[in-house]
Amino acid sequence: MSSLQCATTLVLARHGEAEYESSTWEVEGGSLTRVGREQAAGLADRLSGRRVAHVWTSTLARAVQTAEIAAARLGVGVTTRNDLVEFDLGDLAGSPRDTDPCAAPYGAWLAGDLDLRIPGGESGTDVVARMRGVLDEIVDAHRGETVLVVSHGGALRLAVPLLAHLDSGPHRIHNCATIEIEADDDGWVCRSWDPAPED
- Write the CATH number for 89: 3.40.50.1240
The reply to whether 198 falls in a domain is no
Q: How many structural domains compose the chain? A: 1
Residues in the chain: 199
Q: Which of 61-70, 145-154, 169-178 has the lowest mean pLDDT?
A: 169-178
State the Cα–Cα distance between residues 120 and 54, nearest whole angstrom. 34
Whether 167 is covered by a domain: the verdict is: yes
Contact criterion met (CB below 8 Å) for 143 and 4: yes
**Beta strands at 146-151 and 8-14: parallel, antiparallel or unpaired:** parallel
Distance CA(161)–CA(167), nearest Å, equals 7
More confident residue, 135 or 5: 135
> Is 199 among the domain residues?
no
Q: So what's the pLDDT on residue 186? A: 86
Selecting among 15, 54, 152, 171, the annotated active-site residue is: 15
The pLDDT value given to residue 113:
96
Quick check: is 71 in a domain? Answer: yes
- Clarify whether 152 is annotated catalytic: no
SS3 193: strand
Please report, for residues 19, 66, 88, the alpha-carbon distance to residue 91 in angstroms, rounded to integers and kept in the order given: 22, 28, 9
Mean pLDDT for all residues in the chain = 90
Report the SS3 class of residue 86: coil
DSSP H helices, 142-194, are 153-163
Residue 112, pLDDT score: 92
Confirm or deny that 62 is annotated as ligand binding: yes
15 catalytic residue (yes or no): yes
145: number of Cβ within 10 Å: 18
Per annotation, catalytic residue among 19, 28, 38, 86: 86
User: Whole-prediction pTM value?
Assistant: 0.92
Provide mean pLDDT across the span 81-89.
Answer: 94
* Domain membership of residue 131 as a residue range: 3-193
Average pLDDT of the residues in 78-100? 88
